[in-house]
Amino acid sequence: MKFGKEFRTHLEETLPEWRDKFLCYKLLKKLLKRLPAATAIAAVDSLPSHLNFRQQPSDADAAAAGDGGRGFRPFAGLQDWFVGILNEEVEKLNDFYVDTEEDFVIRFQELKGRIEQVKEKSSRGGAFTSESSFSEEVMDIRKDFVTIHGEMVLLTNYSSLNFAGIVKILKKYDKRTGGLLRLPFTQLALRQPFFITEPLTRLVRECEANLELLFPLEAEVIEATPTPTR
């Protein structure tokens, strides 16, 4: 399956409220197709500077070049422009990932608090009006544990898929323009919050441990479900 189709499939299968938080992979591909190809860039850059149809530098461009415009290239700002777009996308990914991870931490702590309350009521005896009310409370907790576990796995997928999307776009950019953006930007992306998933992984494992302790049969089903690997 081609990556673009795989990306679209994951997007369709994720939570609806998450869909606009993903990398704009399709839009970035369209932008790349509108960029001048490497051969065109090389051809224009090799033209004599006196030709009238070649874009001339402004005074600001000439000053920035530091050579009176003699070394001016019409596509010199192309990479900066594209990097700016990618930086905005990465910032979007970081914001969503960090906010969602923080929400998971809060919800998980609340769930553990509910477990302790149930244990305390049970140990005192008679705190629940009936056995059915006890079972109902336990089942509600189980349901919430399963829900948050599933969302945590989705966020892990979110991290991996968006990182892969960035790498694919960078590869296409270098191929299209003859640039060398892939390696430095990939190294930058590796250090971004949306790709640092160790805390989330620990949270997933702690969630599974609680499920195994409280609901062993449910935990077996969840652990048997394959989780994505990088």
Give the pLDDT means over successive 10-residue stretches in the chain (230 positions): 91 95 96 80 52 41 44 64 94 98 97 86 60 77 94 97 98 91 95 97 94 65 50
Tokens of 150: 């599933």
Indicate the domain borders of the chain.
77-224
Distance CA(153)–CA(148), nearest Å, equals 9
Cα within 13 Å of Cα(80), Cβ side: 4
In this prediction the pTM is 0.77
Angle between helix axes 25-34 and 78-124 (nearest 10 degrees) is 180
pLDDT at 166: 98
